[in-house]
Structure 1
Amino acid sequence: MKSPICIIADIGGTNARFALVEPTESGVASFSAPEKYLTADRSFSQTVSQFIRSRGIDFNADIELRAAVAAPVSAAQSLGEHATRLTNCDWEIGLTELHSALPKLKMRVLNDFAAVALALPSLTDAELTAWASTGSVSTGPKLAIGPGTGLGVASIVCVNGAWHVVPGEGGHVTLSAADDREAAILSIVRREFPHVSAERLLSGTGLPTLHRAVCAVDGLHSVASSAEDITDAVHRGELGALATLKTFAAMLGSVAGNAALTLGATGGVYLAGGLLQHWRDVFPVHDFVTQFRSKGRFTSYLTNIAIHRIDAPEPGLIGLARSA
């Protein structure tokens, strides 16, 4: 029996990346060069149709669509029967709009960072940059966390030799202060947002808010109004942007350390997300690692957990391709 055509889609708040799964002689699933679409340009159904048309696929073919989305996904939503609304854009992911044009389409939907977590066991050293290399347990729970448009968190655990993903919404935990300066920053942000989640500051959408608060507390001039502006200012060496980046790294390290403690992530912590790739040459890794480990009596526990940045292109698509 002929296998269905398998399309994979990693859908974030800003960009959606689509690719075709391709069989390989090794049996390890691979995928075609992804096509990137802006979510603001068209709807989900329009984007799916455009990708299928661009690849010359028959709309009446047996198609399996695996979609990783930046949103929580319930059991009913996981098969596309009920639409999933993304957290940071207006897309709704589901079968309703698609079935009239694609009658044989079947769908699987999962959280975007769950897809990243699915990739972790198969990533090679060449696809990672070590931020803290220690003796992590190879089959211990692994944590994926990373800032893009939002802040994604998920994990994967090994049970009886098989890996099982544990999705979560850790980006929406309440952000806490590690010192008086961070407390002052959060106090300013709470004037605008009564609940300050980790994602509220530690993401592309949250970075301008963090920048304004950091500059207010440190008495520095704030001129940047977007994540792109702040990144450009970092590369120019502007003090307000550099202070923002150091604060971002420290706060992200603290959040990641909390998540690693909660999960018991002895298999390592893996950082993904578009922001870290934009900052790969300037990100203050020391500030991240210091705050990651700064947990009092459990500092030694966290010191034994390896930390890596994922450099593999499209880890979410890797996870989707290997999620058969």
Structure 2
Amino acid sequence: MSFPVIAGDVGGTNSRFRLIGPDGAALGETLTLKNAAYPSIIEALTAAYPADVIRAAQTLVIAVACPVDEPPFHLTNAPWVIDPAAVKAALGLSQVHVMNDFMAQGLACASLPLDTMQQIGGHPREEAAPRVVVGPGTGLGVAQLIRACGKWIVIPGEGGHLDLGPRTEREFALWPHLEMRGCRLEVEMAVSGQGLENLYRGLRRLDRHPDREEAVSAAQVTERAHSGEALAVEAVTLFTTILARFCGDLALLTLAHGGVYLAGGMTAHLIDLVRGPAFRQAFEDKPPFSGIMAEIPLYLMPGGTPALDGIAAYAADPQAFEVERAIHVTR
């Protein structure tokens, strides 16, 4: 691909863009835009960069929060529809590469130095062993990484849409009060921004709170928890407990001795709970495999924009990864 490249991380709420050079280094600052302020990614890009910068770049590589199969791509938790051919034509680009957002997080997991991450328990990682990346934000993203033939194979999926069941007596009482998709409760409906809102609303319904149907955002729930409101504290605690259990489920899936890596905006907002001993305890609570779980390390991905770092690593050395089938390229 030609350089410079415009790299983009297009989430459900925000889009982040960065110009990168042939060595993967950033050319200028990362720009963050609110999706709701623009009708489409075309307007967002033209707001982010002057026309001469876009013409000079010629190549756009974006990670999007939805499955990447056949275009156009419909964001799962936002109204944008991304048609690579229309973007290419409107902006005068020579090529547009589109990958799933957790493909980009997986690329970051494979390429970022270990010392940029914070380990939470477990043994040192086995460098060639399977890895898992999990990230709650507007939605819940998941990717697996497998090392084969000297390359990292990144397998993005839709693990956030797996079914979620209760474990404790309180959870069994709570489940009927939670919003579901169809006839089932997905993990994302508890472990994401909308998931935290769902848990808090459900707890207020369960306890017959007089304002139980009041719309309360995830940010407000977090603020109320920090101020000591009991139900908000319970919602945030349950959120992190379910996240830890889910990470443990995914670790068991591949015996991820290469580590489970936590990304996503919600993780950053609740970082003190994620670092606490209860999180690790819930992660390991998988009898009869608790001994194996105690060995598997958890890592906090670095703050900032790891997805853009992953895109930069791919752009600088695409041959280091086996990802061609998972990236849609329009030329």
TM-score, normalised with respect to structure 2 = 0.87
| Among candidates 217, 222, 240, match of residue 226 of structure 1 | 217
Unpaired segments ≥5 residues, structure 2 = 316-331
Partner of 1:278: 269
Change (3 A) 1:286 1:185: farther
Return the alpha-carbon distance in structure 2 between the equivalents of residues 104 and 243 of structure 1: 49
Partner of 1:68: 63
- Find out whether 1:109 has 2:98 as its counterpart: yes
- Find out whether 1:151 has 2:151 as its counterpart: no
Deviation at 1:193, TM superposition (A): 5.5
Change (3 A) 1:230 1:31: farther
Partner of 2:310: 319
- Find out whether 1:34 has 2:30 as its counterpart: yes
Return the alpha-carbon distance in structure 1 between the equivalents of residues 207 and 127 of structure 2: 42
Partner of 2:299: 308
Q: Report SS of the residue matched to 1:145.
A: strand
Cα deviation, 1:104-135, whole Å, max 9, x if unaligned, reads 43111111111011111232344222222413
| 268-277 vs 156-165, which moves further | 156-165
| Among candidates 153, 156, 169, match of residue 158 of structure 2 | 169
Return the alpha-carbon distance in structure 2 between the equivalents of residues 208 and 190 of structure 1: 10
| 142-151 vs 254-263, which moves further | 254-263
- Find out whether 1:49 has 2:46 as its counterpart: yes
Looking at secondary structure, tell me which structure has more helix per residue. Answer: 2
Return the alpha-carbon distance in structure 2 between the equivalents of residues 92 and 49 of structure 1: 17
Deviation at 1:217, TM superposition (A): 4.2
- Percent identical: 33
- Find out whether 1:183 has 2:178 as its counterpart: no
Please give the residue correspondences for 1:176-255 in structure 2 after superposition, counting only pairs within 5 Å. 176-189=165-178, 194-217=183-206, 225-255=216-246
Q: Report SS of the residue matched to 2:194.
A: coil
Return the alpha-carbon distance in structure 2 between the equivalents of residues 187 and 21 of structure 1: 48
Change (3 A) 1:62 1:316: closer
Return the alpha-carbon distance in structure 2 between the equivalents of residues 300 and 321 of structure 1: 37
Contact residue 3 and residue 21 of structure 2 kept, 8 A: no
Deviation at 1:304, TM superposition (A): 0.8
Return the alpha-carbon distance in structure 2 between the equivalents of residues 31 and 168 of structure 1: 31
Q: Report SS of the residue matched to 1:36.
A: strand
Change (3 A) 1:135 1:230: same
- Find out whether 1:119 has 2:115 as its counterpart: no
- Find out whether 1:267 has 2:258 as its counterpart: yes
Deviation at 1:216, TM superposition (A): 4.1
Contact residue 269 and residue 306 of structure 1 kept, 8 A: yes
Return the alpha-carbon distance in structure 1 between the equivalents of residues 180 and 314 of structure 2: 43
Deviation at 1:279, TM superposition (A): 2.1
Change (3 A) 1:187 1:31: farther
Deviation at 1:149, TM superposition (A): 0.3
Cα deviation, 1:217-262, whole Å, max 9, x if unaligned, reads 4677867711011111122121111111111111111111111111
Partner of 2:286: 295
Change (3 A) 1:181 1:284: farther
| 312-321 vs 97-106, which moves further | 97-106
- Find out whether 1:258 has 2:246 as its counterpart: no
Return the alpha-carbon distance in structure 2 between the equivalents of residues 184 and 272 of structure 1: 30
Structure number with the bigger relative contact order (C-alpha 8 A, sep ≥ 6) is: 2
Contact residue 113 and residue 154 of structure 1 kept, 8 A: yes
Return the alpha-carbon distance in structure 2 between the equivalents of residues 170 and 31 of structure 1: 34
Q: Report SS of the residue matched to 1:323.
A: helix
TM-score, normalised with respect to structure 1 = 0.88
Return the alpha-carbon distance in structure 1 between the equivalents of residues 181 and 255 of structure 2: 34
Contact residue 151 and residue 203 of structure 1 kept, 8 A: yes
Contact residue 245 and residue 284 of structure 1 kept, 8 A: no
Cα deviation, 1:248-286, whole Å, max 9, x if unaligned, reads 111111111111111321100000111121222354633
Task: Report the AA paired with residue 117 of structure 1.
Answer: G
Return the alpha-carbon distance in structure 2 between the equivalents of residues 108 and 86 of structure 1: 16
